[in-house]
Amino acid sequence: MKAAKLEEGTLEIQDLPIPVPGDEEALIRISAAGVCHSDLHIVRGDWQGVPRTGVVGHEAIGIVQALGPGAEGYAEVGDRVILGLGGSGGGYWCGACEYCLRGEPRHCAQTKGIMGTFAEYFCVWAKSLVKLPDSVGDQEAPLACGGLTAYGAVKKLSTHHIQPGRSVAIIGAAGGLGHYAVQIANAFGYKVVGVDIGAERLQFVTSLGAHMAVDADDAVDTVQREIGGVDASIVFSARMAGFDLGLKLLRRGGLFVAVGLPATSEGNLELNPFEFFLRDPTLIYSAVGNVQDMREVVDMAAAGQVKSHIGRVGALSELGAIFDELEAGKYVGRAVITDLGS
């Protein structure tokens, strides 16, 4: 099978053996794989301490081809499924520890991630699979991470007492994750303030249903003048400038939700203690989601409430070029690999 593999930090398209499913695993023939900004960070070596080796990719849609021992109760050969769960924690969880029981399997001591979907075939723990209706097409593969991650972040608003009808800033609103969050927050009834850069991207954000679309350079003055700040900021930007902006847009006592993971070279988030005291924000991080969240995202997609905006479609052989284009911001929304055999 063809697969995109990192060898000593260099991305190569290689011919590898088709894997054999182990206990409770399903072998998936990949129909489409989404290209996530996290994949770019890994390939570029942006995150200190994250290994740069092996087959990459962590969000996909495919068909179950074979089942390992014990997987029969969770999937059937021929099932069309979405897989990935954001990569982190999507490959296994124990189901019995305190974290699993409260819906946070990413923190389980036995958790395993998913990595390797830029390939024609991939083996995955069958319990993590979510079956897809025909109405959700293959190009919705990025829902497996981008859509799920955005959904998990928006769900945390009500957990922290930001109720529908309140104002929420989405930083990086035209991006691969942000464009999902605009749709989801709008569907949940929030007043969405989409923040991005450039007239074209702001027009796109407006088309997604944002109540306001503001340029990052003018966002603080505009938002403070027109609505007095926002009740919550969700930051999908992979730049520390986006984190700083998210904090500045908040009203006193607002909620700050970090989602983006800037490169290690971007440095640290810095807080002025006196300003922290005066503004009194709640700061949290939101990463991916669980298998039930994935089912709910699929339901939203089937109902037409959330849709992937695909700015680039290509073959596996084009993956290097697609990464370059993603890094340069040459397309809006997501990229999808639909030809894994070339």
SS3 21: coil
Same domain, 154 and 280: yes
Q: Give CA separation, 23 vs 20, 93, 131, 317, in Å.
A: 10, 14, 20, 32
Say what the pLDDT of residue 88 is. 74
- Position of tokens 């055999």? 341
Q: Which of 28, 53, 10, 18 is nearest to 129 (CA)?
A: 28
The total number of structural domains that make up the chain: 2
Same domain, 154 and 115: no
Residue 193, token pair as written in the block? 């303030």
Q: 33 - beta bridge partners?
A: 60, 337
Same domain, 115 and 165: no
pLDDT digits over 317-341, tens only? 999 999 999 999 888 889 999 999 8
324's CB contacts (< 8 A; 6+ apart) are none
Prediction pTM value: 0.94
CATH assignment at residue 128? 3.90.180.10
Same domain, 130 and 14: yes
Provide the pairing of β-strand 60-67 with 54-55: unpaired
CATH assignment at residue 241? 3.40.50.720
**Which of the listed residues 270, 285, 300 is the one where a domain comes to its end?**
285
Mean pLDDT of 4-31: 95
Say what the pLDDT of residue 263 is. 87
Say what the pLDDT of residue 289 is. 87
Same domain, 211 and 240: yes
Same domain, 327 and 225: no
**Which of the listed residues 260, 285, 310 is the one where a domain comes to its end?**
285
Same domain, 71 and 125: yes
Q: What's the rounded Cα separation, in Å, for the pair 39 and 335? A: 12
In this prediction, residue 166 has a pLDDT band, given cuts at 50, 70 and 90, of very high
The DSSP output letter for 91 is S
Mean pLDDT of 300-310: 97
Same domain, 171 and 218: yes
140's CB contacts (< 8 A; 6+ apart) are 61, 82, 147, 301, 307, 308
pLDDT digits over 63-122, tens only? 999 999 999 999 999 999 999 887 777 889 999 999 999 989 989 999 998 999 999 999
Same domain, 314 and 292: yes
Same domain, 278 and 294: no
Say what the pLDDT of residue 84 is. 86
**Residue 98 CB neighbours (<10 A):** 9
Same domain, 129 and 22: yes
Range of the domain at 318: 2-145+288-339
In this prediction, residue 202 has a pLDDT band, given cuts at 50, 70 and 90, of very high
Say what the pLDDT of residue 297 is. 97
Same domain, 138 and 191: no
For the chain, the straight-line distance linking the first and the last C-alpha, in angstroms and rounded, comes to 10
